[in-house]
Structure 1
Amino acid sequence: MKKLLIIYVLVSPFVINAQSHYPGQHADKFTVPDQLKPAVYSFDLKDIKLLNSRFRDNMVREQQWLLRISTQSLLHSFYTNAGMYDANEGGYDEIKKYAGWESLDCELRGHSTGHILSGLALMYAATGDEVYKLKGDTIIAALAAVQQTLNQDGYLSAFPQEFINRNIRGEKVWAPWYTLHKILAGILDQYLYCSNRQALSVAKGFSAWAFKKLQLLTQQQRAVMLRNEFGGINETFYNLYAITGNRNDQWLGDFFYDNRMLDPLKNGIDNLKGTHANTYIPKLLGVMRDYEIENKAGQDTITKFFWQTVVDHHSFATGSNSDREHFFEPDAISQHLTGYTGESCNVYNMLKLTRHLYIHSGDVKYADYYEKALFNHILGQQDPATGMIAYFLPMLPGAHKVYSTPDSSFWCCVGTGFENHAKYGEGIYYHTNDALFINLFIPSTLNWEEKKFKLIQQTKFPENGNMSFTVDEAPVSPITINIRYPSWVKADVEISINGKSLKIKQPPGSYIAINRSWKKDDRIELRYPMQLHIVPANDNPSIAAIAYGPVILAGEMGTGSFSGREPYSDPTKHNDYITYNYTVPGNIDTTFTLDAKKIDNYIQPLQGRPLTFKIVNENIIVKPLYDVHHERYVVYWRLKK
């Protein structure tokens, strides 16, 4: 393989745009503007900088892993598929081959390249550091060469087209369109966040191939093909249509509308039971993008019903869902406390969907859920010791988190992990023309360049509910600062500006709105009292999780019968993640007496250890689930009165 050297002219990718859902994109990159007017707009990722916190620590570890990954190893399956290795140069044998879901015998090979392209683009947007852009440029140049060498009407993949043909014929194959979605999404992110025009050219070529191939299918062939998992490729084709204005791209988005799964939602039917959750959720992301672009009546009803159904009837206290990757019957949480609950990809996609719904409405309930799932699932799925990622968040009492390996796993949740920890900034702040909305309490700075307004958020949340917001640069005109007043706050709130107390009229589950002409160094100080409470299973009130404010606490259960760091028993076996044996010791007892109305008598804080408590009569230590690593734990307890 010959090395390619491509020089790019850097164009700033950080112009605020009308396409409100995608920080870091140019407004002028979109030919087709959204017809739906959002209630609030997001900021560009470059406008938010994380300060020291657990979130920033996760982000730094993710940066290190992104840069450690060998580009040659990542791309070897693409080159192999295109026959681009020169045996005389010995290049093929010299390159380390990645294992797990990127091995040459895995039918999902190539999906991680797409996720990594997205992760690199997001990191560049968030940090402005050229190293992420340059690595992305290198991968895009290589993929363009693969696409050209394949010479198959624009087809690009690490596997042959025969996988697609098998899918069309209804033969067994592991989700080829799912993999192609990840690749295409990563390529588009390189264009949208990094202004890489070669990426757009590659994406257009890929779309031309897809249109040529799929327009020939009968409705029966289409129905058979759509029964296989295809990720959110409908969303990506709609995004491409918004960029190009090419009606063929829109046709492709429409082509992947799954009537069988989505039409029942129009009639308020919960048809989730038994469906593969990470197959289902991304379908709604495509519906959302079509709705935003075309403003078609009724599509928001489908998505709102789906979201509410998942959150109210199919989710654990952590905001996560599914058992063995599948939705189960509604209101049956206590019957599914297994070692394979809470697939991380599902939460990634639910947060994306939540973000769309919040931008449409400005409804604080979406921000409340976003906080729950981000703090209780996403934050704790990265191993602080290694930076590796957990596939599941087990609810099985006595289970433990099991992490990926640097070069032998590459599960789907590893892929979404490359994105999760790069984009923490996108959920903290939103705005309208004359108002700021603060949704998440994460130490950070905001630069609202359009308004000449800078804000510093300082907090140790959720260690405590104290936070401050300092104006670092004051806007010329008055601005309303809206601070989320979470639903979990039960006691009186204290708030002051420059030391002067304010009276709060709003109830929990709303926003505290402060309108004034701001001056530099104005300081808002806020205290949200945090309390212990229980979160009962939705089918059995005697089985419950323990929470402190929004944070789910887990009981420490030691490290008996496991080393604490082993991967699933054989990561080269592509489905072995679903058969892992947790070998839970038989002496783990999850039953204790508790009066929920007097919970402070039963569970008490440990002095000198923030967010750490003791179940008094049981001598059990509980702490945030996101801080439990390399040890067994319990989330749901059997409570006696």
Structure 2
Amino acid sequence: MRKISATVLILSLFPIAMFAQSVYPGQHRNKITKHLRGDVKVYSFDLKDVRLLPSAFRDNMERDSKWLMSLDVNRLLHSFRNTAGVFSSKEGGYMTIKKLGGWESLDCDLRGHTTGHIMSALSYLYASTGDERYKIKSDSIVNGLAEVQYALTKVGQNGFISAFPENFINRNIAGQSIWAPWYTLHKIYAGLIDQYLYCGNEKALDIMTKAASWAYQKLMPLTEEQRATMLRNEFGGTNEAFYNLYAITGNPEHLKLAEFFYHNAVLDPLAERKSDLYFKHANTFIPKLIGEARNYELNADKRSKDVATFFWDEVVNHQTYCTGGNSHKEKFIHTDKVSENLTGYTQETCNSNNMLKLTRHLFSWDANPKYADFYERALYNHILGQQDPQTGMVAYFLPLLPGSYKVYSTAENSFWCCVGTGFENHAKYGEAIYYHNNTNLYVNLFIPSELTWNEKGVKLKQETVFPESDLVKLTVQTAKSQKFALNLRYPYWASGVQVKINGKAVKVKQVPSSYIVIDRTWKNGDQIIIKYPMSLHLAEANDNVDKAAVMYGPLVLAGMMGTEGMQQPAPFSDPTAYNDYYTYDYKVPLNLKTAIRIDKSNLNKSIQPVIGNPLVFKAEEGVELAPISRIHHQRYVVYWDLIKNAER
């Protein structure tokens, strides 16, 4: 464990600046003293300051909301109450509660994690919409957890809060077999903190501070050997949660807890710029780096900054598929071996969720457009398409095996980790559209939305049907003229971007993967029209130039290959009976087409748009391609074997 400097301990006696708006916006910031020691160049806006307008993103959010609101609070609290012995089977109503299945069943070590995710998701929805229904349901969950914590305190488990018994932690410390108890606690802790920040729930913070007191008493007496043994088990972002709590309270115990979860075996090699990630569990790794990012922001630890940045570069540049996702069977692959790992078990959605969280941290430090480019890629191609538009259910993997298809959860009998992060993904689309500092406003994503910039008294309305159209219109609303620089992202995939202000063309000197900066005094009603020309291009596998995906702008296009041989009824119709997603057989037809003829020098000759069907294209072989995010309930091919013209 790293030692804490005397300077940090002194600073920790005062409330420190918490969740810089950079990554953790919150409506409750009036009770937080802003004081970041790490350099932060730009900040995101509070979710309450961004309202989504009609689009595929808002559609996803509304389906997510419907699912969340359908889950009864008593069912979500059942395993917590069962563990705490709050009531017995003789009490009225207990036996009538229908138990949740899958990873929330009473015999699953991870039970309770979903309730944590749901607290976070409800808080995001409340901030994003202002709809009191989300706060009312949130309050009910928090009140139930407070009762459970009180009951456990009465039997000597002061502050412990969980849906599993404390003995799970004892087994973890002893190195005995157990499935990730601290990972589960992290989800609960993060949910409580989000409830405080976004819903203003003081009781949630009280539960969390008591939980931290329990953790401090539990962990501080451990030897270094015990600590190292315990950290071998997946613990999610527990370090991040305690850094965030410390940022709220300034309590040095909370900082020590965050430092306690520094995983030397994983992070020390990265600090030495060693990047052997092969076969490491990806979603075990990524949250550790998010915690390091928070440490840099709060304590100006340059080593933490360097580790987080190095890790991001290694994963994005050497481990990532064209869609922005990573991993095979949840593990990192050999460096630069994409074409050898196109299986039915690629791209765990939790990984993309956490990579986007890490990306937001890194972007806030220097506003480098490469981070925004990656964010857009993973958001449009993986996260947006995780959800089934028919049912609102979500996929665990985004498989890249040619001829595979997305496999979705069920409403009450799955609750995989990617269901939990899925609840969050589709509730917080407003978090990365806009960024700002005192003199600059950044437009990073082209998502229909309305922004309120309170510090400037400015509103910005973004209207677009992107990516169906390459036009984006921004309208400024302000009671008085305001001077600031508007930074419009010039994406890596665009060229010849055009900008008009109030109908007058603006000369664009910038190049792709940069920002078009317009510094002027803005008046009420000013309009900015931006044209982002999109074109076809290839995303070649990093180890085989003859295996590639077709892209249009930021969108990965996949071949739509029909439903022949797909299992009926839908796979995982009963995940409690069948959960073997590592060996799931997609029964790909032997005659499935996996090669297309491409003229690399002129893609428009080989692939042409289908008139009257936006974003659908046809290759020479008659294969139709569409954005991977829009392909559901049928087989697809993403990476193709390329047939060159010379092979005709």
Query: Please, what TM-score do these two structures have when normalized by structure 1?
Result: 0.95
Q: Does 1:135 align with 2:137?
A: yes
Aligned to 1:528: 532
Summarize the Cα distance change of 1:18–1:230 in structure 2 as closer, same or farther, 3 Å threshold.
closer
Work out the CA distance in 2 between the residues paired with 1:362 and 1:322: 27
Work out the CA distance in 2 between the residues paired with 1:328 and 1:570: 30
Summarize the Cα distance change of 1:33–1:16 in structure 2 as closer, same or farther, 3 Å threshold.
closer
Report if the CA contact (8 A) 2:559-2:623 is conserved.
Answer: yes
Work out the CA distance in 2 between the residues paired with 1:532 and 1:166: 54
Q: Does 1:635 align with 2:634?
A: no
Alignment RMSD (CA, Å):
1.5
Work out the CA distance in 2 between the residues paired with 1:574 and 1:225: 30
Report if the CA contact (8 A) 1:32-1:241 is conserved.
Answer: no
Shift of 1:30: 3.1
Find the partner of 2:184 among 173, 179, 183.
179
Shift of 1:308: 0.5
Shift of 1:565: 6.0
Aligned to 2:344: 339
| Counterpart amino acid of residue 357 in structure 1 | L
Shift of 1:31: 5.5
Q: Does 1:380 align with 2:382?
A: no
1:221-269 alpha-carbon deviations (Å, 9 max, x no partner): 1111101000000000011111111111111100100010011111211
Which range is displaced more, 398-407 or 150-159?
150-159
Find the partner of 1:40 among 39, 42, 51.
42
Find the partner of 1:27 among 26, 29, 33.
29
Q: Does 1:518 align with 2:522?
A: yes
Shift of 1:477: 2.6
Work out the CA distance in 1 between the residues paired with 2:637 and 2:494: 25
Q: Does 1:54 align with 2:56?
A: yes
1:174-230 alpha-carbon deviations (Å, 9 max, x no partner): 000000000111011111111111111100110011110111111111111101000
Find the partner of 1:507 among 494, 507, 511.
511
Shift of 1:561: 1.4
Aligned to 1:482: 487
Work out the CA distance in 1 between the residues paired with 2:607 and 2:634: 21
Shift of 1:295: 0.4
Q: How many residues align?
A: 625
1:130-168 alpha-carbon deviations (Å, 9 max, x no partner): 110111100001001001111201111111111111111
The within-5 A match list for 1:173-572 is 173-473=178-478, 475-490=480-495, 492-563=496-567, 566-568=570-572, 570-572=574-576
Secondary structure in structure 2 of the residue aligned to 1:587: coil
Work out the CA distance in 2 between the residues paired with 1:320 and 1:345: 10
Which range is displaced more, 512-521 or 111-120?
512-521
1:413-447 alpha-carbon deviations (Å, 9 max, x no partner): 00001111111001000111121100000011111
Report if the CA contact (8 A) 2:21-2:44 is conserved.
Answer: no
Secondary structure in structure 2 of the residue aligned to 1:238: helix
Which range is displaced more, 578-587 or 343-352?
578-587
Aligned to 1:106: 108
Work out the CA distance in 2 between the residues paired with 1:212 and 1:482: 48
Shift of 1:281: 0.2
Work out the CA distance in 2 between the residues paired with 1:154 and 1:589: 58
Report if the CA contact (8 A) 2:558-2:636 is conserved.
Answer: yes
Report if the CA contact (8 A) 1:167-1:228 is conserved.
Answer: yes
| Counterpart amino acid of residue 223 in structure 2 | T
1:607-628 alpha-carbon deviations (Å, 9 max, x no partner): 0000000012x11110000000
Work out the CA distance in 2 between the residues paired with 1:59 and 1:451: 28
Summarize the Cα distance change of 1:187–1:17 in structure 2 as closer, same or farther, 3 Å threshold.
closer
Work out the CA distance in 2 between the residues paired with 1:293 and 1:476: 35
Summarize the Cα distance change of 1:198–1:267 in structure 2 as closer, same or farther, 3 Å threshold.
same
Shift of 1:462: 1.1
Report if the CA contact (8 A) 2:21-2:46 is conserved.
Answer: no
Secondary structure in structure 1 of the residue aligned to 2:455: helix
Secondary structure in structure 2 of the residue aligned to 1:222: helix
Aligned to 1:600: 604
| Counterpart amino acid of residue 346 in structure 2 | T
Shift of 1:171: 1.0
Work out the CA distance in 2 between the residues paired with 1:256 and 1:52: 42
Report if the CA contact (8 A) 1:314-1:331 is conserved.
Answer: yes
Work out the CA distance in 2 between the residues paired with 1:32 and 1:17: 8
1:51-93 alpha-carbon deviations (Å, 9 max, x no partner): 1110010011111111111111111111110111233334221
Work out the CA distance in 1 between the residues paired with 2:302 and 2:363: 18
Summarize the Cα distance change of 1:17–1:416 in structure 2 as closer, same or farther, 3 Å threshold.
closer
Give the fraction of aligned pairs with identical amino acids, expressed as a percent: 56
Work out the CA distance in 2 between the residues paired with 1:590 and 1:319: 21
| Counterpart amino acid of residue 554 in structure 1 | A
Summarize the Cα distance change of 1:159–1:261 in structure 2 as closer, same or farther, 3 Å threshold.
same
| Counterpart amino acid of residue 551 in structure 1 | L
| Counterpart amino acid of residue 86 in structure 1 | S
Aligned to 2:3: none
| Counterpart amino acid of residue 129 in structure 1 | D
Report if the CA contact (8 A) 1:402-1:565 is conserved.
Answer: no
Work out the CA distance in 2 between the residues paired with 1:254 and 1:209: 16
Structure 1, unaligned runs of 5 or more: 1-14
Aligned to 1:89: 91
| Counterpart amino acid of residue 598 in structure 1 | N
